[in-house]
């Protein structure tokens, strides 16, 4: 099923937003009250009366570095060169190599790890910071705080294993992004005490077009990639997380704190993000219930979550959490769901994802496998052509919950139930629930492509999604689930 090669005191005012009013959600088996942080201090919450007046456009696919191109100068002893422009690769490949830099390039090496903060924070807009292969010890305490728009941080093209930024759990965050048009590509970030990557709104304005592409994020102390408003209530919109590997390993799991307050991607009040073609693994704890592999809540909006391969996470994809979230919300000027009270998520689509649980240790944990897809106070959500397989009974394969949830749930293939809870509403069409493992090529090994003869073949409503998990076109009689059987 793999489509890609998987191959001290640091607290400052800038970091106080990392502990988002949340320290482990209560289990889906009980009534949630939202997340509450055990001792966390936060300045990055939104206010219900905050109103957005901007309208996002679609998230850009890889097109290279944006921003101006200042003269190639250096004040920190690093090598600065001028790069040439390279044509964008074919749009047919969902994970092509990222284009070559189009502006000035500052080259850095592992022995400059202690200077990275100054180098990155001193770079001019439009600059690419090119990391030479090796491990960079960034455990010095303070994060690399990106406030200049248009910077790109990247390793050697296509090789995210060649460059490792290691926080050794001694820095709260490795990258703290608060600038538009920031790109992080082709590298590994690991072992931050909180979040290896944290994107927040700016001090004076919203930011947009943060791109995280072909990156590995390994063993965070809390969430791997965090997205939330700044302390001055500015947002992070229209971002892209794609073609990346995000994992909590057996080695990293004991480092998780605050009643399993962890997860893969966790976004608050974020509008117009695309999260696609990622591999996400292992977000669960022996005790407590982790957040989702992909989680958008606190009135996030218009998120696209597609073609992700999620394995052995206690919860797969979530829009919203709890009846009232964490007590904060985002208001939109166009009032997209009139007459509703609190909304965990607005609009958005979850499609063509494969979600699998098979680790005996996950099933033996306190929470087990809770859900593959969960909608909570999610208005106008679409859940289309996903596959959710659990080798042992979960709480649910999918659930839609609370009265403000209104959803279309269609063409999904699940080994267990799709469940309504607490007055939610949804239109269900063409789903196959309680599917046996014989529907799949090798479910026990996580190979979730359809087996010939499966009753899911040609059984989905037409016209929901044009392609499948592998990017192959669906025919006029599409198959249920994320895979369209090639015959």
Res. 471: pLDDT tops 80? yes
pLDDT on residue 232: 94
Res. 58: pLDDT tops 70? no
Res. 63: pLDDT tops 90? no
Res. 32: pLDDT tops 80? no
Q: What is the pLDDT of residues 255-293, one digit of tens each?
A: 998 999 999 999 999 999 999 999 999 999 999 999 999
Res. 197: pLDDT tops 80? yes
Res. 48: pLDDT tops 60? no
Answer yes or no: pTM beyond 0.75: yes
pLDDT on residue 80: 44
pLDDT on residue 99: 96
Q: Which of 307, 217, 213, 311 is nearest to 266 (CA)?
A: 217
The answer to whether the beta carbons of residues 196 and 143 sit under 8 Å apart is: no
Per-residue pLDDT band for 307 (boundaries 50, 70, 90) equals very high
Choice between 10 and 433, residue whose per-residue pLDDT is larger? 433
Res. 439: pLDDT tops 60? yes
**Hey, which residues does 129 pair with through a beta bridge?**
106, 153
Mean pLDDT of the chain: 85
- Distance, in Å, from the CA atom of 159 to the CA atom of 485, rounded to the nearest integer, reads 31
Mean pLDDT in residue range 352-367: 98
Q: What is the pLDDT of residues 140-155, one digit of tens each?
A: 889 999 999 999 999 9
Q: What is the pLDDT of residues 361-383, one digit of tens each?
A: 999 999 999 999 999 999 999 99
- Distance, in Å, from the CA atom of 390 to the CA atom of 397, rounded to the nearest integer, reads 8
Q: Give me the percent of the chain exceeding a pLDDT of 70.
A: 81
Structure letter (DSSP) for residue 315:
E
Q: Give me the percent of the chain exceeding a pLDDT of 90.
A: 80
- Distance, in Å, from the CA atom of 65 to the CA atom of 55, rounded to the nearest integer, reads 23
| Strand residue runs (E) in 221-333 | 223-228, 236-237, 240-242, 245-247, 263-268, 274-276, 279-281, 294-297, 300-301, 304-306, 309-311, 315-319, 331-332
The answer to whether the beta carbons of residues 165 and 134 sit under 8 Å apart is: no
Res. 230: pLDDT tops 70? yes
Q: Which of 440, 422, 479 is nearest to 456 (CA)?
A: 479
100 C-beta neighbours (distance < 10 Å), count: 16
pLDDT on residue 316: 98
Mean pLDDT in residue range 406-424: 98
Q: What is the pLDDT of residues 72-98, one digit of tens each?
A: 333 333 444 444 333 333 447 999 999
Torsion region of 195: left, alpha or beta (phi above 0 gives left; psi -120 to 50 gives alpha): beta
Res. 30: pLDDT tops 90? no
- Distance, in Å, from the CA atom of 91 to the CA atom of 76, rounded to the nearest integer, reads 38
Q: Which of 2, 37, 20, 31 is nearest to 423 (CA)?
A: 31
Mean pLDDT in residue range 302-326: 97
């Amino acid at each position: 099923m793999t489509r890609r090669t998987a191959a001290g005191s640091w607290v400052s005012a800038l970091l106080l937003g990392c502990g988002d009013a949340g320290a482990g959600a209560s289990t889906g088996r009980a009534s949630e009250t939202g997340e509450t942080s055990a001792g966390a201090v936060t300045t990055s919450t939104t206010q219900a009366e905050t109103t957005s007046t901007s309208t996002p456009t679609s998230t850009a696919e890889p097109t290279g570095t944006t921003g101006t191109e200042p003269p190639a100068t250096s004040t920190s002893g690093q090598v600065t060169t001028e790069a040439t422009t390279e044509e964008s690769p074919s749009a047919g490949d969902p994970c092509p190599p990222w284009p070559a830099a189009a502006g000035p390039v500052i080259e850095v090496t592992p022995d400059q790890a202690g200077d990275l903060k100054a180098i990155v924070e001193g770079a001019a807009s439009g600059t690419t910071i090119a990391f030479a292969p090796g491990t960079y010890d960034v455990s010095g305490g303070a994060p690399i705080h990106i406030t200049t728009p248009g910077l790109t941080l990247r390793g050697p093209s296509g090789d995210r294993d060649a460059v490792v930024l290691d926080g050794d759990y001694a820095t709260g965050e490795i990258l703290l992004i608060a600038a538009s048009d920031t790109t992080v590509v082709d590298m590994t970030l690991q072992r931050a005490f909180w979040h290896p990557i944290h994107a927040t709104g700016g001090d004076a304005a919203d930011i947009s077009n943060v791109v995280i592409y072909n990156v590995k994020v390994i063993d965070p102390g809390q969430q791997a990639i965090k997205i939330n408003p700044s302390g001055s209530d500015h947002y992070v919109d229209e971002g892209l997380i794609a073609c990346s590997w995000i994992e909590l390993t057996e080695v990293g799991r004991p480092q998780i704190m605050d009643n399993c307050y962890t997860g893969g991607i966790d976004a608050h009040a974020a509008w117009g993000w695309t999260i696609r073609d990622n591999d996400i693994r292992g977000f669960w704890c022996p005790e407590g219930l982790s957040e989702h592999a992909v989680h958008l809540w606190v009135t996030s909006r218009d998120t696209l979550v597609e073609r992700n391969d999620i394995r052995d996470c206690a919860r797969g994809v979530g829009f919203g959490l709890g009846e009232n979230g964490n007590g904060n919300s985002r208001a939109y000027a166009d009032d997209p769901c009139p007459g509703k009270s609190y909304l965990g998520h607005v609009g958005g689509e979850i499609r063509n994802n494969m979600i699998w649980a098979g680790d005996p240790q996950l099933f033996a944990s306190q929470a087990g496998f809770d859900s593959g897809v969960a909608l909570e106070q999610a208005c106008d959500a679409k859940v289309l052509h996903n596959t959710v397989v659990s080798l042992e009974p979960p709480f649910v394969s999918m659930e839609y919950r609370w009265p403000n949830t209104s959803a279309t749930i269609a063409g999904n293939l699940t080994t267990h139930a799709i469940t309504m809870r607490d007055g939610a509403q949804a239109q269900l069409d063409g789903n196959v629930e309680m599917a046996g493992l014989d529907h799949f090529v090798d479910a026990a090994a996580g190979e979730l492509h359809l087996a010939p003869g499966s009753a899911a073949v040609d059984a989905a409503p037409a016209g929901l999604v044009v392609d499948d998990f592998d990017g192959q076109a669906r025919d006029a009689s599409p198959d249920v689930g994320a895979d369209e059987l090639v015959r």
